[in-house]
Amino acid sequence: MNCTTVEIADARKKEHHPVQLRASGESGLYMSSVGLSLEGQFGYDQAFQKMHNLLDAALQNGITHFDLSPHYGPPYGAAEENFGHLAHALPCRREELVVSTRSGLGTQPGPLVGFGSRKRLLSSLNATLRRTGLEYIDVFYAHRHDPLTPIEETASALDAAVRQGKALYVGLSGYSPAIAGKVSDLLRDLGTPVAAFRVTYSMLNRWPEYGLLSLLEQEGFGCVVEGALDFKRNASTHLSEAEMDRFWERLSSVAAQRGQSSSQCALSWVLRKPVVTSVLITPCSVRELLKYCAAAGQTRFTDSDVSTIDRCIPDRELLW
C-alpha cells in the first residue's frame, strides 16, 4: 500500500515544510515522515535547555512523531521523564503529537525471562505513563519475539493496552516476518490490528527488501525506520574501514550532485519507499535537525540515481 502524504504547514509562520505526514499503513494514524528519537540526547547528562530547543525546533519544522523507550537515558527512564516535563511546556496540543514507546528485550532492567508476557508489557507501559505524565501513548510496540511466552498472550496484552485506553495503536519491533504475520492475524481477530512495524533499514542494511517490506505492504503495516544514518553499526561486520571510506567518498559525490550531504541523501533514499511511514533521527543539535528536515523534501530518485548509489557500495552481495 502506498503511503498517503499530506503537507504540513506551520500555522504560525504560514509557510510549508519539507516534512510531510504519511499514513501508517492502512490505519487512520498519520506520522511525520521524519520522527525524533530521544535516544542518547534526552538523558540526565544533557542540558535541559538543549532538549527544549530540539523539541521546539522539531515542532516548528513539521516533526510531530516522537520516539521514546524505557531504556533511553542515561539512566533508564530519564528520556521519558524529561520528555514529559518538556511536552507539558511546549506550545502545542497533545492531540498534535504522535508519541511512541516500546517494551521487550533490552528495553528495561530486570530478568529477561517473560519479556513478552502480559505482566512485563503492561507493567512497562504503566511505568512509561507515570514517568511522562501522559494519559496515553499513541503507538505501543512489543519489542522482539519472546520464545518463552505464547504469542497469543503477547497479542492479548497489546489488545488490552488499547482497550484500557493506555495506547491508541499497537506495533511490532524486531520481529521476524513469519512471527509478525502470526501476531498480526491474532491482533486482527481481536479487533486491534497492527498499525506500525519498526525496522532497521539503510543503504548498507538491505535485508528488509527480502520479504519484509513486501509483508508490511501486504499486511497494511506502516513502516517506521531506525538506523537509516547509522552506517557503521549496521555494516561493521561486513565492510572494512577502507571499504567504508571508499563508500563515503563515492556517496559524497552522488549526494553533491543532488545538492545534499551524504547523510541527507541517505535519509532521502529511505523515504523514497512508499511503504516507509517515518524515519527516526537522533540529531545532536538544532542545526543537524534542520538539515535532516530539508532532506525529507528530496525523496525523488530516478532508476539511474539508485543504480549509481548501489555501485558506490563494495561487496554488495555481503550486505543484502
Q: Does 109 sit behind a cis peptide bond, omega within 30 degrees of 0 on the bond before it?
A: no
Amino acid identity of residue 241, one-letter, is E
In the prediction, which pLDDT does 42 show? Answer: 95
In the prediction, which pLDDT does 90 show? Answer: 82
Q: Cite the DSSP H helix spans in 68-117.
A: 78-87
State the cell numbers at 182.
Answer: 502470526
Structural domains in the chain? 5-237+273-302 (3.20.20.100)
Q: Within a 13 Å sphere around the CA of 51, how many CA atoms are in the beta-carbon half?
A: 25
Give SS3 for 236.
coil
Residue 223's closest CA among 263, 168, 278, 169?
Answer: 278
DSSP output for 34-47: EEEE-TTTSSTTS-
Bridge partners (DSSP) listed for residue 276: 223
In the prediction, which pLDDT does 316 show? Answer: 57
Residue 24's closest CA among 267, 311, 274, 252?
Answer: 274
State the cell numbers at 209.
Answer: 527488501
Please count the helices (runs of H) and the strands (runs of E) in the chain.
11, 11
Residues in the chain, pLDDT under 70: 1-16, 232-238, 315-320
State the cell numbers at 204.
Answer: 548498507
In the prediction, which pLDDT does 2 show? Answer: 46
Cβ atoms 194, 225 nearer than 8 A: no
Q: Alpha-carbon torsion 264, 269, 271, 276, what sign? A: negative
Which whole-number Å values give the CA distances from 253 to 166, 226, 230, 246, in the listed order? 48, 25, 19, 11
In the prediction, which pLDDT does 238 show? Answer: 67
Q: Is 60 left (phi over 0), alpha (psi -120 to 50) or beta?
A: alpha
Q: Which residues contact 69 (CB under 8 A, 6 or more apart)?
A: 38, 39, 79, 80, 101, 102, 107, 143
Give SS3 for 21.
strand
In the prediction, which pLDDT does 135 show? Answer: 96
Cβ atoms 264, 292 nearer than 8 A: yes
In the prediction, which pLDDT does 13 show? Answer: 44
Residue 49's closest CA among 86, 98, 13, 102?
Answer: 86
Cβ atoms 73, 43 nearer than 8 A: yes
Q: Produce one character per residue of 190-199: b if its CB has 16 or more CB atoms within 10 Å, e if not.
A: bebbbbbbbb
Tell me: the pLDDT tens digits for 77-125?
999 999 999 988 887 889 999 999 999 998 887 777 899 999 999 999 9
In the prediction, which pLDDT does 113 show? Answer: 83
Average pLDDT score, the chain: 90
In the prediction, which pLDDT does 201 show? Answer: 95
State the cell numbers at 91.
Answer: 506550545
- Give CA–CA dist 279/271, Å, rounded: 7
